[in-house]
Amino acid sequence: MSSSLISSGPAFADLGLAAPLLRAVQEAGYSTPTPIQAQAIPLVLAGGDLLAAAQTGTGKTAGFVLPILHRLMAKPLSPKPGRPRCLILVPTRELAAQVEESVRTYGKHFPLVSMVMFGGVNINPQYKALRGRVDILVATPGRLLDHVGQKTVDLSGIEILVLDEADRMLDMGFIRDIRKVIALIPKQRQTLLFSATFSDEIRILANTLLNNPGCVEVAHRNTPSELVEQSVHLVPQAHKKEFLSHLIRHHNWQQVLVFTRTKHGANKLAEKLLKDKIPAAAIHGNKSQAARTRALAQFKDGTLQVLVATDIAARGIDIDQLPQVVNFELPNVPEDYVHRIGRTGRAGITGAAVSLVDNEELGYLKDIERLIKRAIARVVVEGFVMPEAAAPHEGLDDRRPPRPAGGRGGPNRGGQHNNRSGAPRKPAATGHSAGQPGKPARSPGAGPAPSRHTTRPTSALLGSGAAKKGRE
């Protein structure tokens, strides 16, 4: 983890954690606590409630799992089957699996038993696990309530409740489920609430749930990591698939997480990339859990070059050093942009977030820039050539400016980077500009006036409106 994420404060050994936990931390390869860990661990160890503003990637999971393990071990173990002492509620299956994995990693020298519980998978193994002892239960709200309904889990012994990524749980409509769960657990408990953003709804939830909480805030609210290099390409929607395929091949990106707004869009894009011989898969709520787990594993081990995901499916994907995030469409909720690009620029490694923006999305772009209080550089990519034949079917004729005299090389030729908002110009070496500076945008080997595949200036391909915007 980079020095920017590591506090100059205490060492792990100073935080008051039991020796088996320090050993596990050392074995995980962590030398210094992150700021959230340095602040949250002593507060949780002291038994107080906690309200934490922390995004994924800050080390927040260890920030609550380590002191929870310590506190659970400080009391005699309760051998009652199916009656956990700690409940960690999370929004997605992926996050549930990751948090439970962290519980195992940090708790490996303790005799505590953890269990992960989410929907979309066979419930029978969960019944079986609940017939034994479970100390720490990591669950998504829906499946937990299924078990509550069937009386296969008993929540009356909960001593510690964690709401992880609470903002996302509210976005996903879990508020009623959360309230139902809370009504079932003892009022006398310790409650920890983690959220990346703080809407009024989160504040209300925090006020009703937490008792005189300690507050910890590590990253500026709604501020993306400084380690993420952000850029925008103005591209008509109908050309985005072709454009993305070009970007991936041109830059030889090896591990790209691409966000689409819809499940259908995710499928279509993955199909197009596969057609272009780029190993890709889509993950979203309509895919089986097995398919999602497989795709994620292949993406992690490098077999799969591109993972296309909807916001909800991508939530909680924890891949260290993810170098490249692409917004195939901008999210219409600006905070989601911050969540999305938080998948890269983690753990001290720089990353890049590229957004493909159609004219129709310029309003969303403005909202995002207002939220992050920063202009995002508009970058023109040279060398992207759209097959002429494809254009009429894509309904783009009305967007194109007249072809410049001479047939090639419009106003944007020569590796010029446009920047509407006064953000610093990006040098070609940033990896966003294909083609060589000073050379017109041409497809390799494009001859004079071919009949089907025509070399076209980038400005023309971006559409008149988009290209103009880019130069303002």
Which residue from 318, 335, 358, 361 is in contact with ligand AMP, where contact means CB under 6 A? Answer: 318
Q: Contact between 30 and ligand AMP (CB under 6 A)?
A: yes
Which residue from 34, 310, 359, 418 is in contact with ligand AMP, where contact means CB under 6 A? Answer: 34
Task: Give helix 200-209 / helix 175-184 axis angle, nearest 10°.
Answer: 0
Which residue from 184, 347, 349, 446 is in contact with ligand AMP, where contact means CB under 6 A? Answer: 347
Q: Contact between 60 and ligand AMP (CB under 6 A)?
A: yes
Cα 342 from chain centroid?
5
Q: Which stretch binds ligand AMP (CB under 6 A): 57-65, 141-149, 358-366, 396-404?
A: 57-65
C-alpha to C-alpha distance for 251 and 273, rounded to whole angstroms: 15
Name, in order, each residue with C-beta under 8 angstroms of 388's C-beta and a sequence gap of 6 or more.
452, 453, 454, 456
C-alpha to C-alpha distance for 322 and 416, rounded to whole angstroms: 28
Q: Contact between 225 and ligand AMP (CB under 6 A)?
A: no
Q: Contact between 39 and ligand AMP (CB under 6 A)?
A: no
Task: State the CB neighbour count (10 A cutoff) for residue 227.
Answer: 18
C-alpha to C-alpha distance for 176 and 173, rounded to whole angstroms: 8
Q: Which stretch binds ligand AMP (CB under 6 A): 53-61, 198-206, 333-341, 463-471?
A: 53-61
Q: Contact between 92 and ligand AMP (CB under 6 A)?
A: no
Cα atoms in the Cβ-side hemisphere of radius 13 Å centred on 347: 10
Q: DSSP for 436-451? A: -TTS----TT--SS-S
Question: 């940090």: which residue's tokens?
Answer: 106
Which residue from 38, 62, 282, 434 is in contact with ligand AMP, where contact means CB under 6 A? Answer: 62
Which residue from 17, 51, 52, 59 is in contact with ligand AMP, where contact means CB under 6 A? Answer: 59
C-alpha to C-alpha distance for 461 and 358, rounded to whole angstroms: 12
Q: Which stretch binds ligand AMP (CB under 6 A): 27-35, 128-136, 272-280, 398-406?
A: 27-35
Task: Give helix 334-341 / helix 362-372 axis angle, nearest 10°.
Answer: 70
Q: Which C-beta is closer to ligand AMP: that of 39 or that of 443?
A: 39
Q: Which stretch binds ligand AMP (CB under 6 A): 58-66, 330-338, 408-416, 456-464?
A: 58-66
Site mask, ligand AMP, residues 278-317, x = CB under 6 A? ----------------------------------------
Q: Contact between 22 and ligand AMP (CB under 6 A)?
A: no
Minimum distance of ligand AMP from residue 319's CB (angstroms) = 8
Rg (CA), the chain: 25
> In 3D, which of 10, 19, 4 has the Cα closest to residue 41?
10
C-alpha to C-alpha distance for 85 and 149, rounded to whole angstroms: 19
Q: Contact between 320 and ligand AMP (CB under 6 A)?
A: yes
What residues line the site for ligand AMP (CB under 6 A)? 1, 30, 32-34, 37, 56-62, 318, 320, 347
